[in-house]
């Protein structure tokens, strides 16, 4: 089952934070009701402006050009054309008094869509003010007014849906350990039936809509309570949970004999320091090997990846950089066309430079997680085990806009120590081991199945002689 909603806010994904600019992880925002409204009301005029203007030979070109005058050449927007388009909407559209804010949002969204369409940019995004605020909290490991669960779509009995099968249930997943939902007794696999007095069935005709509408009902003011009615096998239960502001670690560890297993869930502001402390403690307790679990890790700050890799790799004349980032490329040019090149050097003083090592990855290991896996692989520091990674070889930065929204913009492409780009191709493991059901993945951050049932973890332990 794939996670489609989260009561603590939408998941987030990787970026780099350059000096003087504040950036956040960049998982693309969910295409919810906001996007649909904007698409219907306002983005259409910008689309017409930018697409129809390309057709100068059409039999309708005269009419088109009167309504949507041509954008001039060069890199400057034709503001008079945009103003004319909006005035035309205000004077002639079937609904009168369309709010100006809708037009502004439509224009901002339309510009980003052009980047997608023209340059195949999967990751630049327009974020609403609420999405930007939620991502801001998420990157710092915070969920405000949360209970610590995620919701996924499921089929009969909460099981995974077969290909082409329409979901019929909302399943509670990722119950965070030692957080309100966990302490109140909610379990992974519980089927959500109602929130307070509102049944999920009343929230929409499909599970995606129901989950989208249920999530804000679960969140709320800190210290207040919310009751969740769930189906657990043959029993129907009502569990009351007190909302809280959650601070969620990004690094967890546990010893398996002489092996220190370390799960990194994201590359947040404190990930480097937390990993260093847990490595020091684990090695002091007798660990001689390390498993670094980056599965389902969507990324985060490049600086955090730089710090983490530096704990395992000694800088030398042939081991210099964790990653090289290149920006301001020409439209058709390769890495050599970059105007801006930044090398993130390996930092001296690592605490786990000689311990044997395995890195676990899967198809949802992305961006900063891939930077880490690629560097440890290219320097022959670790064996990579699992499944091919996501394939996100670019860096995004957030540029807040005056209306409180955010332009989440691709600013660089990154290249591993061997000069490779993993954009679209991912990092290929040294040893491929599949996990038929993602629910079998052992983890420390949430309620988890036993380690013995995790084939990828068992392969890593075997490779380290455990």
In 3D space, the residue among 15, 11, 46, 1 whose CA is nearest the CA of residue 327 turns out to be: 15
The whole-number pLDDT of residue 73 equals 53
Strands 289-293 and 259-264: parallel
Q: How far apart are CA 116 and CA 50, in angstroms?
A: 13
Q: How far apart are CA 239 and CA 228, in angstroms?
A: 5
13-64 residue pLDDT tens: 344 333 333 332 333 333 333 343 334 333 333 333 333 333 334 443 443 3
Architecture of the domain defined by 251-463: Alpha-Beta Complex (3.90)
Please list the residue range(s) of the chain that carry CATH number 2.30.42.10: 143-246
- CA 207, 144, 215 angle in degrees (round to 5)? 10
- Residue 465 burial (CB count, 10 A): 11
Q: Give the residue ranges of DSSP H helices in 185-342.
A: 207-218, 271-284, 302-310
The whole-number pLDDT of residue 142 equals 81
* 3-state secondary structure at position 366: coil
| CATH 1.20.1090.10 fits domain 143-246 | no
Strands 383-386 and 259-264: unpaired
DSSP conformation class of 60? T
In 3D space, the residue among 50, 87, 53, 51 whose CA is nearest the CA of residue 70 turns out to be: 53
**420 Cβ contact partners less than 8 Å away, ≥ 6 residues apart:** 374, 378
Token pair 């389902």 in the structure block, residue: 296
Phi-psi region of 104 (alpha: psi -120 to 50; beta: other; left: phi over 0): alpha
Token pair 């399943």 in the structure block, residue: 171
**374 Cβ contact partners less than 8 Å away, ≥ 6 residues apart:** 323, 416, 417, 420, 422, 427
Q: How many helical (H) and strand (E) elements, i.e. helices and strands, does the chain have?
A: 12, 20
The whole-number pLDDT of residue 332 equals 86
105-130 residue pLDDT tens: 999 999 999 999 999 999 999 999 98
For the chain, how many residues are written? Answer: 466
Strands 251-256 and 244-247: unpaired
- Kindly report the backbone phi and psi dihedral angles of residue 31, in degrees, each rounded to the nearest multiple of 5, phi listed first: -85, 85
Q: Are 381 and 308 in contact (CB under 8 A)?
A: no
Q: How far apart are CA 154 and CA 165, in angstroms?
A: 10
The whole-number pLDDT of residue 38 equals 37
What is the torsion angle, in degrees rounded to the nearest 10, for the CA atoms of residue 36, residue 37, residue 40 and residue 43? Answer: -90
DSSP conformation class of 300? B
Which regions of the chain are under pLDDT 50?
1-72
């Amino acid at each position: 089952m794939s996670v489609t909603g989260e009561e603590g806010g939408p998941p987030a994904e990787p970026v780099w934070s350059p000096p003087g600019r504040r950036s956040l992880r960049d998982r693309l925002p969910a295409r919810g009701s906001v996007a649909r409204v904007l698409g219907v009301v306002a983005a259409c005029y910008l689309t017409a402006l930018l697409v129809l203007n390309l057709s100068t030979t059409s039999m309708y070109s005269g009419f088109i050009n009167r309504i949507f005058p041509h954008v001039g050449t060069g890199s400057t927007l034709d503001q008079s054309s945009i103003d004319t388009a909006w005035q035309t909407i205000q004077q002639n559209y079937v609904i009168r008094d369309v709010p100006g804010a809708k037009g502004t949002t439509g224009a901002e969204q339309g510009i980003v869509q052009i980047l997608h369409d023209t340059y195949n940019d999967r990751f630049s995004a327009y974020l609403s003010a609420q999405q930007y605020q939620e991502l801001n909290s998420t990157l710092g490991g915070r969920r405000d007014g949360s209970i610590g669960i995620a919701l996924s779509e499921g089929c009969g009995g909460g099981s995974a849906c077969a290909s082409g099968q329409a979901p019929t249930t909302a399943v509670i997943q990722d119950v965070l350990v030692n957080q309100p939902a966990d302490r109140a007794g909610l379990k992974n696999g519980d089927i959500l039936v109602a929130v307070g007095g509102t049944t999920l069935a009343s929230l929409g005709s499909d599970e995606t809509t129901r989950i989208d509408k249920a999530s804000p009902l679960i969140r709320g003011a800190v210290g207040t309570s919310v009751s969740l009615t769930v189906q657990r096998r043959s029993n129907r239960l009502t569990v009351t949970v007190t909302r809280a502001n959650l601070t969620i670690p990004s690094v967890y560890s546990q010893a398996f004999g002489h092996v220190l297993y370390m799960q990194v869930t994201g590359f947040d502001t404190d990930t480097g320091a937390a990993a260093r402390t847990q490595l020091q403690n684990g090695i002091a307790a007798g660990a001689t090997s390390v498993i670094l679990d980056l599965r389902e890790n969507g990324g985060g700050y490049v600086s955090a990846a730089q710090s983490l890799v530096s704990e395992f790799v000694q800088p030398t004349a042939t081991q210099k950089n964790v990653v090289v980032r290149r920006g301001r490329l020409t439209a058709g040019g390769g890495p050599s066309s970059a105007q801006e090149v930044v090398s993130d050097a390996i930092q001296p003083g690592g605490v786990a430079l000689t311990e044997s090592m395995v890195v676990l990855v899967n198809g949802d290991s992305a961006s900063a997680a891939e930077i880490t896996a690629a560097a440890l692989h290219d320097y022959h520091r670790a064996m990579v085990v699992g499944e091919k990674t996501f394939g996100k070889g670019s860096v995004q930065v957030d540029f807040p806009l005056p209306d409180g929204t955010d332009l989440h913009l691709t600013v660089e492409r990154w290249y591993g120590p061997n000069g490779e780009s993993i954009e679209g191709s991912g990092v290929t493991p040294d040893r491929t081991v599949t996990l038929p059901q993602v629910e079998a993945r052992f983890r420390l951050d949430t309620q988890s199945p036993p380690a013995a049932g995790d084939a990828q973890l068992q392969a890593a332990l075997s490779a380290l002689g455990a």
